[in-house]
Structure 1
Amino acid sequence: MSAERPVLIVDDDDDLRETLVDQLAVDGEFVASQAASIADAEAKMADKDARFDAIILDVSLPDGDGRDLCARLRKQGHRMPVIMLTGSDADTDVVRGLDSGANDYIAKPFKLTVLLARLRAQLRIFENSEDAVFTIGPYTFRPAAKLLHEPVKNRRIRLTEKEAAILKFLYRAGSRPVARQVLLNEVWGYNAAVTTHTLETHIYRLRQKIEPDPANARLLVTEGGGYRLDPEGAPTANTPMTEPA
C-alpha cells in the first residue's frame, strides 16, 4: 500500500470537512487535516512540522476569500496543487480562481469520486513537474531534476532515477518506516528478477551521498524491517561532509 499523502481541507462547512476527512482516509491513500477559516489554514501552514501535498480550498470563508489565500500561498513559494471548491461555476469565478494560482476548480455539490480523481491527477502532474520541491533534512529535493541541494553550502547532489524515486516515496511516508518489499515494489514494480539486495545497494549508495557518516546513518535510517527519513537526525551546517562520489 502506498504511503498516506497529507492533504489540508479548508472549508467552513463542518459536515463537509468531516466527510472529506473520513472519505480521504478510507483507502489509506490520504490523511487529511482541516481548517475552518483562512486564519486557521495559515496557522497550520506556518507550523514548522507542517507538510501538505495538496490543499482543498473553499472560495467563501468566514474571514475572507479563498482565492486571496491561494494567491498569497503562491507568492510565499508554495507550489503544491490547490483545488478550489465553490458554490458557483460561472466562468468569471472559474477564471479568477485559476488566475489566483489554483490548479483546478470544482463546483458544489460534487461527487467525491470526481474530487479524488482530480486530486490524484493534480498530484501526478505536480510530482513530475519542475515546480515540485520538497525539504528533506538540510536539503531541498527536486524529483524531476533528480537533484538534492544543500543551500547552506550551496552543494548539489545528483541522483539516479531510482535514488530519486526512493527518496520521493520515503518522503511521502513521512515519519513512518517503509518495509523493504513495499519500497522495492513501488520503485521497481513487481519484477521477480529484482531482489531486496538491489534496494539495499541503492540505499548504500544514497547514504554515501547524503550522510556525513554513511556507516552511522542519521537521515536515511533503517527501522522496522525497512527505511525511514529522519529530518531531525540530519546533519547540520556545522557537520563536516564529504563531497558525493
Structure 2
Amino acid sequence: MAGSRPVLIVDDDETLRTLLVEQLRLEGEFEPVEASSVAEATKLVDNADAHFDAILLDVTLPDGDGRDFCAELRRRGIRMPIIILTGSDDEADVVRGLDAGANDYVAKPFRIAELLARLRAQMRIFENSEDAVFAIGPYVFRPSAKLLQEPTRNRRIRLTEKEAAILKFLYRAGQQPVPRQVLLNEVWGYNAAVTTHTLETHIYRLRQKIEPNPTSACLLLTEGGGYRLDPAGTPLATTQPVRV
C-alpha cells in the first residue's frame, strides 16, 4: 500500500473505537484518528494541518447528537464521506441521519467487513464526484474536472487525464514515495507497451505546469526510485536541478 488514508472515528465507546482502529490499521489501508466527543472531533476537523478522507460518526455522543454535527459539517461545506453509526435501525432515525447529510447509515452491532466495504465504496464515489477537492501547494485540485485552480492569481491550469491521475494517486499516497513501476501500473494499467520513459515525460510536463521553478521542484519530488507529492510545497534545500 503506497499510503494510508486518514479516517476520523467519532464515538464515545472506547472498546468500539479500539476495535475499529485495529481493523482499519490491519492492512495499512487506513490511518484512523480517534475522537470521543463532538468537541474533540471539531478541533480535529478545524486543525489546518489535518485532513480526513472520511468520518465514522456515532449518533449518541456525550456533548451532542452526531447527526447535528454532521449537518453542521455540511453547512460549512465539508464534503468528505460521513457514515453514521447507531444503535437504532428505525426508519425515522435512518431518514434523519441521511437528511443531515450522511452518506450511509450503519446500525450496531455491525460486521466489520461490511463497514469497511461501505467505507471504501463511499470513498470511491466521492473521489469521482464534483465535490472532491484537494489542496496542493497554492492550488485547489479538482480531479473530476482535471483542473488546478490558483485563487491568489486567479489562474486555472488544465490537466490531461493522465496528469490528473498521477496527481491524484500521489496525493493519496500520503507523502510516501511511489515507485515508478507502481505509478505506471496504477495510471496506465499493466500495459507492456508503456515504459518508464512515458511516465517521466508526463512528470516533466506536469512540473512545467505546476512548479514555481520546474528545475527545483517543491511539489512533485523525485525520491526513493519514484515520486512523492508534497502538498505543502516545502522548498528543497538544494537549488540543483531535479532529475525526472
* Cα distance between partner residues in 2 of 1:137 and 1:101: 29
Answering whether residue 4 of structure 2 is matched by residue 4 of structure 1, we say yes
Preserved contact between residue 38 and residue 64 of structure 1 (Cα < 8 Å): yes
Preserved contact between residue 55 and residue 82 of structure 1 (Cα < 8 Å): yes
* Cα distance between partner residues in 2 of 1:90 and 1:147: 42
> How far does residue 77 in structure 1 lie from its aligned partner after superposition?
1.2
Aligned 1:1-245 pairs, distance under 5 A: 1-233=1-233
- What SS class does the counterpart of residue 201 from structure 1 fall into? helix
Preserved contact between residue 171 and residue 231 of structure 2 (Cα < 8 Å): no
* 2:238 aligned residue: none
* Cα distance between partner residues in 1 of 2:68 and 2:34: 18
Preserved contact between residue 188 and residue 194 of structure 1 (Cα < 8 Å): yes
TM-score relative to the length of structure 2: 0.93
> How far does residue 161 in structure 1 lie from its aligned partner after superposition?
0.7
> How far does residue 75 in structure 1 lie from its aligned partner after superposition?
1.2
* Cα distance between partner residues in 1 of 2:2 and 2:232: 23
* Cα distance between partner residues in 1 of 2:99 and 2:234: 38
Preserved contact between residue 221 and residue 227 of structure 2 (Cα < 8 Å): yes
* Cα distance between partner residues in 2 of 1:40 and 1:120: 25
> How far does residue 234 in structure 1 lie from its aligned partner after superposition?
5.5
Instruction: For residues 38-62 of structure 1, give each alpha carbon's deviation from its aligned partner in whole angstroms, at most 9, with x where no partner exists.
Output: 1111111111110101100000001
> How far does residue 231 in structure 1 lie from its aligned partner after superposition?
2.9
State the number of aligned residues: 235
- What SS class does the counterpart of residue 215 from structure 2 fall into? helix
> How far does residue 228 in structure 1 lie from its aligned partner after superposition?
1.2
- What SS class does the counterpart of residue 149 from structure 1 fall into? strand
Say what the alpha-carbon RMSD is for the aligned residues.
1.2
- What SS class does the counterpart of residue 187 from structure 1 fall into? helix
* Cα distance between partner residues in 1 of 2:8 and 2:155: 32
* Cα distance between partner residues in 1 of 2:6 and 2:61: 22
* Cα distance between partner residues in 1 of 2:131 and 2:54: 13
What letter corresponds to residue 146 of structure 1 in structure 2?
K
TM-score relative to the length of structure 1: 0.93
- What SS class does the counterpart of residue 221 from structure 1 fall into? strand
> How far does residue 175 in structure 1 lie from its aligned partner after superposition?
2.1
Unaligned runs of 5+ in 1: 236-245
Q: Which runs of 4+ in 1 moved over 6 A?
A: none
- Percent sequence identity is 74
Instruction: For residues 94-124 of structure 1, give each alpha carbon's deviation from its aligned partner in whole angstroms, at most 9, with x where no partner exists.
Output: 0110011100000000000110111111011
- What SS class does the counterpart of residue 45 from structure 2 fall into? helix
Preserved contact between residue 3 and residue 169 of structure 1 (Cα < 8 Å): no
* Cα distance between partner residues in 2 of 1:174 and 1:151: 24
* Cα distance between partner residues in 1 of 2:20 and 2:158: 39
Instruction: For residues 27-82 of structure 1, give each alpha carbon's deviation from its aligned partner in whole angstroms, at most 9, with x where no partner exists.
Output: 22111111111111111111111010110000000110011111111111111000
* Cα distance between partner residues in 2 of 1:3 and 1:162: 20
